[in-house]
Structures are given as C-alpha cells and as structure tokens.
Amino acid sequence: MGERLIELRNIAKSYGRVFAVGGVDLHVDRGEVVGLLGDNGAGKSTLIKMLAGAIRPTSGEIFVRGVRESHWNAARSRNAGIETVFQDRALCVQQSIIRNIFLGRELSNAFGLLDRKRERAEAERLMRDIGFTSKVFSPDSIVGQLSGGERQGVALARAIYNKADLIVMDEPTTALSLTETEKVFRFVRAVRAGGRSVLFIGHNIHHVFDICERFVVMDRGTVALKATKEEMGSAERLIAYMEKLAHPQGIEIPPAPGHEAEAA
C-alpha cells in the first residue's frame, strides 16, 4: 500500500469503568477504502468520533502522516485533512445549505466578513458535482426543507470541499433509498479514483464488501479481525465470521445462494 495516512495506536475511551473502545490499532493508507464493521455497541462510532476530534480519547496516540499529534480536536482533525460524515450528518437544519457546507470553515476576508459570492458559487458547484440537485432547491434553501438523501448530499458536499485526504463515513446509507445509496457508492468510488482514502462504516456487509479493499471488524470495543478482500474471499465468509462473533456458541452458517437478498 501507499503512504500511511493516519494511524491510531492503542486508542481507548472509557466512561467511568466502562470501556467503549479499549486499545484499538487502526490505520488507513493513502488511496485505500477501509471498511469498519461490527455490531451495534462495538465501538465503531466512538472510534471515528475520536479520529474526528469530537471525542477525546482516554489514552492512546494519533499519528497523521507519521507525525504524532497532540491536543487533537475537531478543528485540528479537519485541518489535517480528515473529513467526517457523521451518522447524524452533523447539520444545522435551520441554516441554509451554504452555511452548512461552510460550517466551521466560513469563506471570509481578513476581517472575518463572509465572502457570500464565493460561498454561493462553490456550493452550487459542489452540489452539482455530488449530483444532489434533482429537487427544486438553491444553495440558500434551508436544510430542514430537504429530504434525508438530500441532507446526506449536503454532508457529502461539505466533506469533499476541502479536498480532504481521508473521508470517514459513518453509516452513510442508513435510511436512504436505493438510488440515493447508489449515489453514495458512486461518491466513494469517485473519492478513491481521486487518490484519496475512505473509512467506511456500514451494517450492510454486502455493501461494505463490495466497496472496500480491507476490513476491520470490531467487537465490544476491540478489533476482532483485520483482513484484506483477498484474504476474506467472499462477503459470505465475512458474514459468517460476524455471525460467529455475535453467537460464539452457535453453528457457523454456511454461505448459501440467495443469501444476499436477506442481508440487503
């Protein structure tokens, strides 16, 4: 693989005596799409929130391009070229599309005055690039007026604006229609084609298997499996593995034809 983009070493987060994430190693190289899997409560969201700087780790180290980071926070994470599409999309629904795209990163002059013209032009371009312009709305439209898929479009547009090196997506296809889901995948492929990396979190294993080259499976706050696509072989094996994690005493479910439909 290429250059090591980010690396989390022995990262942990505890709430009192409960460990949400207990000592996880994770890295993403330049230009690869990594799938992060695991059941609800496995610690995936906590892990990526630490990467995004939204949650402070209890212990552990974060390296960006080989350099150890200190005083890690959300602003630093974004400045380091990491954009996160959060599960809740992190939008301000009473604000315009423009204000959401430039949230925390307003285009302004030396006095802090907003460059409205440039913000509007950039927003128009981004929305067109993403392909979320099918409905009748303008960059000035209030996000609260948009559908779920369109809101996701705003979150994606924001993530690509800064030409981030790594885009982290936490269950980006949840509650989206089939067409909208397809758009998200097209987005991931486009990002990768541009030589950038994606850390993709999802519940639909077939989706994740399709789109990712490497998989990290979490279970109860720790990494249970790391494997490349070649090592894994098929989505069915990945599913079987995860079934086994969830029910260690249970019988391993053999991959069967027609199983894909169930998982969708």
128 binds other proteins (CB under 8 A): yes
Identify which of residues 125 and 247 has a Cβ nearer to other proteins in the complex.
125
Among residues 129, 211, 219, 237, which is the contact residue for other proteins, using CB under 8 A?
129
116 binds other proteins (CB under 8 A): yes
175 binds other proteins (CB under 8 A): no
Identify which of residues 142 and 225 has a Cβ nearer to other proteins in the complex.
142
260 binds other proteins (CB under 8 A): yes
82 binds other proteins (CB under 8 A): no
Residue of 211, 204, 216 lying closest to 187 (CA atoms): 211
Region from 6-14, 24-32, 179-187, 239-247 binding other proteins, contact rule CB under 8 A: 179-187
- Helix, coil or strand: residue 161: helix
Name residue 218's beta-bridge partners.
38, 223
In whole angstroms, how close is the CB of 137 to other proteins at the nearest point? 7
In whole angstroms, how close is the CB of 142 to other proteins at the nearest point? 6
CA distances from 65 to 1, 30, 80, 166, 227 (A): 14, 10, 9, 11, 22
Collect all residues with Cβ–Cβ distance below 8 Å to 89 and sequence separation of at least 6: 151, 152, 154, 155
Residue type, 1: M
User: In whole angstroms, what is the distance from residue 85 CA to residue 51 CA?
Assistant: 12
- Helix, coil or strand: residue 35: strand
- Helix, coil or strand: residue 27: strand
162 binds other proteins (CB under 8 A): no
Interactions with other proteins, residue window 142-161 (CB under 8 A): 142-145, 158
174 binds other proteins (CB under 8 A): no
Place of tokens 């439909």: 261
Place of tokens 């150890």: 68
Among residues 4, 29, 60, 133, which is the contact residue for other proteins, using CB under 8 A?
133
Among residues 206, 217, 221, 242, which is the contact residue for other proteins, using CB under 8 A?
206
Residue type, 38: G
* Tokens encoding 245: 């994690």
Identify which of residues 114 and 224 has a Cβ nearer to other proteins in the complex.
114
Is there a contact between 212 and 33 (Cβ–Cβ < 8 Å)? yes
Provide the Cα torsion 99, 105, 107, 110; round to 10°: 130
77 binds other proteins (CB under 8 A): yes
Interactions with other proteins, residue window 10-69 (CB under 8 A): 49, 52-54
Query: Where along the sequence are the contacts to other proteins (CB under 8 A)?
Result: 49, 52-54, 73-78, 84, 86, 88-95, 99, 102-106, 108, 111-114, 116, 124, 127-134, 136-138, 140, 142-145, 158, 178-179, 182-183, 206-207, 210, 260, 263-264
